Structure 1
């Protein structure tokens, strides 16, 4: 790796610039010079369009694999074997140091190494879509052979994505069932709150703004106060007041159990992907 342990000269390559790969590419371009970011995609026009927007470079997947110091494999799990099969000869010819970065649900570091054809250093990540605006929550595990300097350079290059949390690989799937899938649950809740406001007579735009900012502010209060969510909930629920009646209505319909079951269902599906 060029200037090992630093992000100054590292090339960040992204193969696959769909929703998640594209969000991470945007994040990288907020943290490192755009000329150090290269994009590739099965549909080349998609990579070229995003590269033009971000001011970085587009290439084919083999060229990205031959050049990138951190090579993000941003394809779906069922497509990973095909992609790695195409890249394996290119990776085998490299004489310099590089790190593979995988975000495929259910595929372990060991599996990626086998598919890629070598015991290459691998960082496994599970990001979420708010990475696109720098508010993401990304779980990561540095695999065997990833040095502390490479881990530091990776994190420095991806600071534009938001928060990172290192977890043992055995916990990545459980964590992803919250942070990786969670934005979808949150969007459903925002939509439902807004629908409730519209039912009560609010204009749609106003109801959505109220719902979204309320969730954003409440989440930030949990983070910054360090207080338990239950304690913060109790602080809003005045005796005999309106809020506790709303909480009662949610509990009557199994709100917390439904949220718990959503996380468990996502986790079980991830385990099933391992086959």
Structure 2
């Protein structure tokens, strides 16, 4: 299904989703607009079908209008587009990726009962290893299926009830930052033990990638996979002991909960 899609905002998240959509081959034209046009122009040069555009042109012509703007900026961005959207006689769908803003809230900003898809992507979507949760309001099943196909190159594209999407975002949307922090800490530990920095970071990153695949592909509980690495009286169990003493699991849980609670305050 060839179509024109548009991205209003080409920051880290907007760019990641635009790159995934371009890989699907389902968008004939990808219109890109950003507050700093040079940023959108650079992305347009990377993408098949990518074209530098404006917010107004995207509002007039795109079938899918991705809103890659911060929650606190959404009203300011949508206000001047409202009269343009009202004049449209064809069907269009707004796609919001703003943390904390519900489909209802987007409709309220415009005072329009227009179709809205809400997504919570993460930055690894740009390389096909991401997670994108989505839900829709006033959107047909067929449209949601086509949307999921468009974003399939992003990685795991999963429907979630809107009531759970903030919790999902706290895990997979914020999670990469937590994972990067862990990778950096592991590498620092390796450097402290004498490893060269580049090797320590490479080993830590590849280990995390491999461990994640084991969870996804083995079907085993992470606890069982952990136990399989911890030989009696061995080095690994001593490392696990120190992590437990320092509250590693509690800290990880608290990080997700803190991110979730902050998201709720953005509504």
TM range (shorter): over 0.9
Quote the residue 1:264 is aligned against: 257
The CA distance in 2 between the partners of 1:12 and 1:43, in whole Å, is: 19
Q: CA deviation at 1:116?
A: 2.2
Unaligned runs of 5+ in 2: none
The CA distance in 2 between the partners of 1:159 and 1:12, in whole Å, is: 15
The alignment status of 1:90 with 2:72, answered yes or no, reads no
Secondary structure at 1:146 match in 2: coil
- Runs of 4+ more than 6 Å apart: none
The CA distance in 1 between the partners of 2:27 and 2:120, in whole Å, is: 23
Q: 2:235 aligns with which of 225, 229, 242?
A: 242
Secondary structure at 1:158 match in 2: helix
Answer yes or no: is the 8 Å Cα contact 1:140–1:164 preserved in 2. Answer: yes
Secondary structure at 1:216 match in 2: helix
| Cα displacement string for residues 188-216 of structure 1 (whole angstroms, at most 9, x for unaligned residues) | 00000000000000001100010000000
Q: 1:155 aligns with which of 145, 148, 152?
A: 148
What is the aligned-residue RMSD (CA, Å)? 1.0
Answer yes or no: is the 8 Å Cα contact 1:37–1:57 preserved in 2. Answer: yes
The alignment status of 1:41 with 2:59, answered yes or no, reads no
The CA distance in 2 between the partners of 1:131 and 1:162, in whole Å, is: 6
The CA distance in 2 between the partners of 1:66 and 1:239, in whole Å, is: 66
The CA distance in 2 between the partners of 1:43 and 1:226, in whole Å, is: 45
The CA distance in 2 between the partners of 1:273 and 1:25, in whole Å, is: 24
TM-score when normalising by structure 1: 0.95
Q: CA deviation at 1:91?
A: 0.7
Q: 1:131 aligns with which of 122, 125, 130?
A: 125
The CA distance in 1 between the partners of 2:243 and 2:146, in whole Å, is: 45
Quote the residue 2:99 is aligned against: 105
Answer yes or no: is the 8 Å Cα contact 2:2–2:26 preserved in 1. Answer: no
Answer yes or no: is the 8 Å Cα contact 1:39–1:59 preserved in 2. Answer: yes
Quote the residue 2:165 is aligned against: 172
